[in-house]
Amino acid sequence: MTAPAAGRSEATRVISLHQQLTAAQTALQRIAVLVACGATGAAVFNAVAKELGQLVGADTANIIRYETDGTATAVAAWSRSGTAIPVGTNMPLEGRNVAALVLRSGRSTRIDNFADAHGALAALIREHGIRSTVGAPIYVEGRLWGLVTASMMRDELLAPHAETRLADYTHLVAIAIANAQARADLAASRARTVIAADQARRRIERNLHDGVQQQLLALALQIRETQASVPPEMSEVREQLSAVTSGLTGTFDDLREISRGVHPAILSEGGLRPALRTLARRSCVAVDLSVHLDERLPEPVEVAAYYVVAETLANAIKHADASLVHVEAAICAGRLNLSIDDDGVGDVDPARGSGLIGLVDRVEALGGTITISSPAGQGTHIRAELPIQRWDLSLDRLDRVDTGIATATDVSASARTRVVGETSRTVLPE
């Protein structure tokens, strides 16, 4: 090769290397932005699979998580042709495959030909048309979490050391996983705090109802019996006993109201629908209540929804100067949706210290969202969404999974109540 030709070849190699480095840096920047913005694990995983697959020139790429039962699960997938091992695929690790090799060695590896590879996963790989694969481990806080793979569906092999290039970028996946876990731990901690407080309130309510209230009631009955046995000529004593009985009755009523404020018994006994009806009937402002619920909801969701409505009605009475409040509760897409609108003066700012700020904390602690709109002179409008999940109320462990509750259009039972002060008209479905 002549000197000029050699120079051109070296220049071409340098340019190619520079382009590869630029592409790698650009890919890293895009992934880093996702991680820094707190994107969900799924969004980061899919972005990483795509970026790393394209970076090494692969036809398809996956991020795979090791499970405690000795299998592995695809949590992200990308393919140039749209054909890849789908997200959610659970794979056994016996036989010869990249996932098993990485698990055993803890290092990057590659398989350039699956023709003779054995095992269920190797068969699945051949079924998807994959000819060769490279893989790099993902370590999270020093523990082998999973791996990222890049594969070819053509006879052409990936470049030498492609698995090493993958390993250079898996730390971003580890950061995303650690961030997602930290957010999940924080959310679980907030939820445990809310649930623990609600459980304590319920215990106080039960103690008041089963203890002090019953004692006051028994004492009032005893005094009435004593009053009945007093001779008519001792009218002054009878009047004194009557006053004591009236005082006990008033104390009993006050204690009952305090007990309801601590935790409404009707919520535990009957659920959200009757609890909201009771709130509406007792409200000093007219309430147009529409409830679409087919069954009981998880207790934390019911409690949160109850207090959202209760605090909003209290705000409408104390601060909004409202004459009517519209309240609607319905299930849609696995979430409880609350809509509360009043015709008051508006201009409510939770930051100024109203009870609404506590509602934001309560709803967000359960993984929900709440928005408050209160333009001056146009009333206050609150929208809250709470995910319908089954909650393990043990304070040592908090798990949430979908309950599969039907959407609002599938709900067969609904109620619409028009309440004005203590009078109401309720229409229930047949």
3-state secondary structure 278-301: HHHHHCCCEEEEEEECCCCCCHHH
For 211-277, strand residue ranges (E) read none
- Which band of pLDDT confidence, cut at 50, 70 and 90, is reported for residue 291? very high
* Mean predicted confidence (pLDDT) in 261-274: 78
The C-alpha atoms of residue 92 and residue 113 are separated, in whole angstroms, by 19
Give residue 407's pLDDT. Answer: 27
* Mean predicted confidence (pLDDT) in 219-236: 83
The C-alpha atoms of residue 100 and residue 92 are separated, in whole angstroms, by 9
Q: Contact at 8 Å (CB) between 205 and 259?
A: yes
Higher per-residue confidence, 151 vs 207: 151
* Mean predicted confidence (pLDDT) in 355-371: 81
pLDDT at residue 188 is higher than 90:
no
pLDDT digits (tens, 9 = 90+) for 315-324: 888 888 889 9
Distance of CA 421 to CAs 278, 282, 323, 327, Å?
Answer: 11, 7, 11, 15
The C-alpha atoms of residue 183 and residue 200 are separated, in whole angstroms, by 26
Task: With 0.75 as the threshold, say if the pTM is over it.
Answer: no
The C-alpha atoms of residue 303 and residue 275 are separated, in whole angstroms, by 10
* Amino acid sitting at position 292: H
pLDDT at residue 162 is higher than 80:
yes
Written as six digits, the tokens of 395 are 């304070």
Give residue 39's pLDDT. Answer: 60
The C-alpha atoms of residue 384 and residue 327 are separated, in whole angstroms, by 11
Give residue 398's pLDDT. Answer: 44
Q: Contact at 8 Å (CB) between 40 and 183?
A: no
Written as six digits, the tokens of 180 are 């997602």
Give residue 15's pLDDT. Answer: 60
Higher per-residue confidence, 351 vs 317: 317
pLDDT at residue 90 is higher than 80:
yes
Q: Which of 210-214, 263-267, 280-284, 394-398 has the lowest mean pLDDT?
A: 394-398
pLDDT at residue 328 is higher than 90:
yes
DSSP state of 388: -
- Which band of pLDDT confidence, cut at 50, 70 and 90, is reported for residue 429? very low
The C-alpha atoms of residue 190 and residue 195 are separated, in whole angstroms, by 9
The C-alpha atoms of residue 337 and residue 363 are separated, in whole angstroms, by 12
The C-alpha atoms of residue 366 and residue 303 are separated, in whole angstroms, by 11
pLDDT at residue 413 is higher than 60:
no
Q: Contact at 8 Å (CB) between 137 and 110?
A: no
Give residue 423's pLDDT. Answer: 32
Give residue 100's pLDDT. Answer: 92
* Mean predicted confidence (pLDDT) in 374-402: 68
CA atoms within 13 A on the CB side of 67: 13
